[in-house]
Amino acid sequence: MPRRRTLTLRGAGALVAGAGCIVAANLLGAPVLLYIGFLLIALTVLAVIVVRAPRRSGAVTRQVSTDLLTVSETSRVSIRFSLRALRIPRGLWRDVLPEAVSGDAAGEYPPPTGQLGYLITGVRRGVWPIGPLLLRTVDPFGLAQREQAFGETRTVTVVPEVFTLSPLTARVGAAGGTAQTSSSRLGQGSDNLSPRVYIPGDSMRRIHWRATAHRGQLMVRQEEEESSPDALVVLDRSAARWTARGDEADPAFEAAVSLCASAAVHLAQEGYGVDVVDSAGALLGTLRGHEDDRDGLLVALALVTPRGEARDVAALVGGTPPGPLVYITGALDEEDAALLRPAGAAAPMLFTTAPAPGAAAAATLHGWRVATLGDDVTEAWDDALPERIGLTPAERREPGDVPA
């Protein structure tokens, strides 16, 4: 972060003009120029002392209205700034923002409303620092300035945007579906709680107070097992699939991450137990009905970058094929597409950002529903739905849609 010079342009000009007057006074023998020169230099030095001498200290606390900031989402940052100084200076404040967050984080100090705050919008996912707070003051003549930093930085997490997707045509993996893929796990809803008698060693946090009052003895919550279909979302982040851009964001990879988050959240809302893994088999998140599952997945996806190599789909799926299988990848040629096998998944959906000629046809032969992922995540999802496979763009439009 570059520091501002102590002298403003006006101050530097006054100092140069003062020195020039002193030189001219000696050459021309004009005493008045000597007085003017010393006056300008003295005034500039006094201005520097006025802005630099006072001792100031302060504490800064920031509060963001949302814990996780979504790309393209706007949130408010409220700042509490307690400045300790002999007198309250007048100037301009500015909060340092990273390029991944946009906002007008500046204003007059002291503020007219008595509070500091501004709006920020997520631009690029990741974990980014906000701060420090800079206070810039200038002397009454505008000759010298002082910019001082206060407080520490605060991190803000920008997570990928989650889009609302169209529902699947049929419940895959549920009773009566095309596949009976399910997982047994402890239920999270109130309907699966059956109280039992307290046993020494049970956690007091599991005591069912209503049942205890009803039966007259300590009862604890016993979660029954429930069966729920599974879904698997795979984000292929192997380096060979994506264009290396250094620190710059790859729009295709950002779209893939956004689709990964959207598909996982959408399938969880449809009642599936969702596992999200990368192409190397590393678990990025699970959605099993817990309140923190969604946030944990989004935070993990906020940090993913292209790296490593991809494993075979069968190794990622394991021994039990899922119902819906969403595989999201980047550049895909015909040879690699022919090696992708859905490993017994009931509803395999393949999304590629850059399919080579013949790649979609090769993947379709193995049962994949293939769609090209562009800037519009929802359109790519609709293209991969079963009833839309093989339709022309005109046929995919609903009766009430207006042609583009």
Flag whether 143 is in a domain.
yes
* 329 in the same domain as 292: yes
% of the chain surpassing 90 pLDDT: 60
For 223, residues 6+ apart whose C-beta sits below 8 A from its C-beta are: 186, 187, 188, 192, 193
Displacement of CA 328 from its chain's centroid (Å): 19
Residue 217: inside a domain:
yes
pLDDT at residue number 224: 43
SS3 annotation, 155-205: EEEEECCCCCCCCCCCCCCCCCCCCCCCEEEECCCHHHEEEEECCCCCCHH
Helix (H, G, I), strand (E, B) or coil at 34: helix
186 pLDDT tier (thresholds 50, 70, 90): very low
Same domain assignment for residues 136 and 204: no
Domain of 243 in residue numbering reads as 228-396
Mark whether 239 and 217 lie in a shared domain. Answer: no
Per-residue pLDDT band for 29 (boundaries 50, 70, 90) equals confident
Q: Does residue 48 belong to any structural domain of this protein?
A: yes
* pLDDT bracket for residue 165 (50, 70, 90): very high
Q: Residue 292: which pLDDT band, with cuts at 50, 70 and 90? A: confident
Dump the DSSP string for 221-238: EEEPEEEE-EEEEEE---
Alpha helices per DSSP H over 29-169: 31-52
179 — pLDDT class (breaks 50, 70, 90): very low
Amino acid at 24: A
**296 assigned to some structural domain:** yes
Provide the number of structural domains found in the chain: 4
Specify whether 243 is located in the same domain as 335.
Answer: yes
At residue 325, does pLDDT exceed 90? yes
Do 293 and 215 share a domain, yes or no? no
What's the CATH code of the domain at 317?
3.40.50
pLDDT tens figures, 84-103? 887 878 899 999 999 999 99
**Residues 220-274: tens digit of each pLDDT:** 776 544 444 689 999 999 988 998 665 678 899 999 999 999 999 999 999 899 9
- Whether 323 and 361 map to the same domain: the answer is yes
Above 80 in pLDDT, residue 105? yes
Q: What is the C-alpha separation between 285 and 300, in angstroms, rounded?
A: 7
- CATH code (residue 126): 2.60.40.10
Average pLDDT over the chain reads 84
Mean pLDDT of 47-60: 91
- Asked if 196 and 279 sit in the same domain, the reply is no
Q: Are residues 387 and 238 in the same domain?
A: yes
- Let me know if residue 14 belongs to a domain: yes
| 178 or 13, higher pLDDT | 13
CA gap 171, 111 in Å, rounded: 56
